[in-house]
């Protein structure tokens, strides 16, 4: 589950309601909430947060993309009747 919150000194105040009772032990992972999609700061932040891909995964993705390419042959479509 993801909740928005605000840093307040050494505490984090959630800005959305949550279903947990008072005193419930929780595991918390903290990261900056992106302020605007597409800005340089958000892009750099995304590049340095999980998930990081192994080079083998990138190579496999590129190979699958290459295998899925359909050759372009538009010569016959527009040249009919000539």
Q: Distance between CA 17 and CA 5 in Å, rounded? A: 10
Question: What's residue 15's pLDDT?
Answer: 87
> Contact at 8 Å (CB) between 42 and 35?
yes
> Contact at 8 Å (CB) between 21 and 10?
no
Question: What's residue 80's pLDDT?
Answer: 63
The full set of domain ranges for the chain reads 5-69
Low-confidence ranges of the chain (pLDDT < 50): none
Q: Distance between CA 31 and CA 45 in Å, rounded? A: 10
pTM: 0.35
Q: Distance between CA 58 and CA 45 in Å, rounded? A: 20
Question: What's residue 29's pLDDT?
Answer: 87
Question: What's residue 70's pLDDT?
Answer: 86
């Amino acid at each position: 589950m993801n909740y928005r919150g605000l840093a307040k000194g050494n505490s984090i105040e959630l800005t959305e309601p949550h279903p947990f009772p008072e005193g419930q032990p929780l595991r918390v992972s903290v990261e900056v909430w992106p302020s605007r999609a597409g800005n340089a700061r958000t892009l750099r932040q995304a590049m340095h947060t999980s998930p990081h891909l192994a080079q083998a995964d990138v190579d496999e993705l590129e190979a699958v993309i290459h295998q899925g390419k359909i050759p372009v042959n538009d010569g016959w479509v527009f040249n009919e009747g000539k």
